[in-house]
Amino acid sequence: MAATIAAAPAAPSRHFRRLLPLYLPLAVFLVVTLFPFYWMLITSLKQDSELYNLNAPQFLLTKPTLEHYDYLLTKTLFLRWAGNTLLISIVSTAISLFCGILAGYALARLRFRGAGFLGVAIFVTYLVPQTLLFLPLVKVVQQLGLSNTLWSMMLTYPTFLIPFCTWLLMGYFKTIPRELEESALIDGASRIQAMSRIVLPLALPGILSAGIFAFTLSWNEFIYALVFTTSQEIKTISVGVVTELVKGDVFFWGSLMAGALLGTVPVAIAYSFFVEHYVAGLTAGGVKG
């Protein structure tokens, strides 16, 4: 408020005065942040003859080509990996939302013996990093006969998605007034009906952001996908690009960068819709714990 009032008479000089303390450092941050993406883009569009020639101009494109994209899409299983990644992300997100909605509702609304303990237990699993358990999980996945299947990922990704979904949704359910449900109960609705007809529709924004967040986390997962799979056909984008586009010691940098870029675009789009919800959910859930 104060800033806008002061700004009105002398706008140009204000911008000049803000250049050094504000826009200059912001520009530095921005260049450092975006440079690797710029580098991915121009590397993926350069011809090999230019790419591996230190005397050619490095920062600019002179003869752009789509040959690396062509190679990636026709000579590798990239599209297959993309399909796998999409399928795994959708299924594990659906499983996690289902479990998270039910558990979140129970923890937010119902008084039952052990609820406090359960809440703490779920919060603790939220803090368990995937890398702590990946070796025994390889064994467990084998015991269940899931090695080298998409199910190995669809069923294990929820371990890091359910805790998040539960906490975020618990917060949402708590913001919905109890009275709405109670009047439905008086009118003869069952608990389940009160939940599915009254509470769920109101919690839709929360469910949506939990879903998008779970989707992007699944999309970005790496270590489980790396250790549970052996055949090319069931790899995900991250694992496929990192392990299959390197032959021996030879790196196909052009198509590697093309794959990295194409694998990033879907999550970038998904995220841009819901940043606010994600941050709010994460910090609120954490502080309460």
The CA–CA distances, whole Å, from 235 to 16, 37, 150 equal 52, 24, 8
Q: Whole-number minimum distance, CB 146 to another protein, in Å?
A: 11
Check residue 1 for interaction with another protein (CB under 8 A).
yes
- Shortest distance, CB of residue 45 to another protein, whole angstroms? 14
Cα separation, 198 vs 184, in Å, equals 8
Buried b / exposed e along 139-159 (16+ C-beta atoms within 10 A): eebeeeebbebbbbbbbbbbb
CA nearest to 228, candidates 155, 121, 125, 119: 155
Least CB distance to another protein at residue 270 (A): 8
- Contacts of another protein in 112-171 (CB under 8 A): 112-115, 118, 121-122, 125, 127-140, 155-156, 158-159, 162-163, 166
Q: Does 280 bind another protein (CB under 8 A)?
A: yes
CA-based angle 76:81:87, to the nearest 5?
155
In the complex, the smallest distance separating the C-beta of residue 153 from another protein, rounded to whole angstroms, is 11
Task: Give the residue among 215, 204, 197 at the shortest CA–CA distance from 94.
Answer: 215
Scanning 63-71, 76-84, 174-182, 198-206 for contacts with another protein by CB under 8 A, the matching segment is 174-182
Return all residues near 27 (Cβ < 8 A) that are at least 6 apart: none
Q: Which is nearer to another protein, 28 or 204 (CB)?
A: 28
Residue 179 found at the interface with another protein (CB under 8 A): yes
264 lies in the site for another protein, by CB under 8 A:
yes
> CB neighbours (10 Å) of residue 117?
9
By C-beta, is 48 or 70 nearer to another protein? 48
Among 51, 87, 94, 208, binds another protein (CB under 8 A): 51
Q: By rule CB under 8 A, what string of x and - marks binding of each residue 194-223 to another protein?
A: ----------------------x--xx-xx
Binding to another protein in span 58-87, by CB under 8 A: 58-59
**Cα angle vertex 240, ends 246, 93, to 5°?**
160
How near is the Cβ of 66 to another protein at its closest, in Å? 19
d(CA 108, CA 178): 10
Using CB under 8 A as the binding rule, whether residue 230 contacts another protein is answered as no
**Nearer to another protein (CB atom), residue 16 or residue 52:** 52
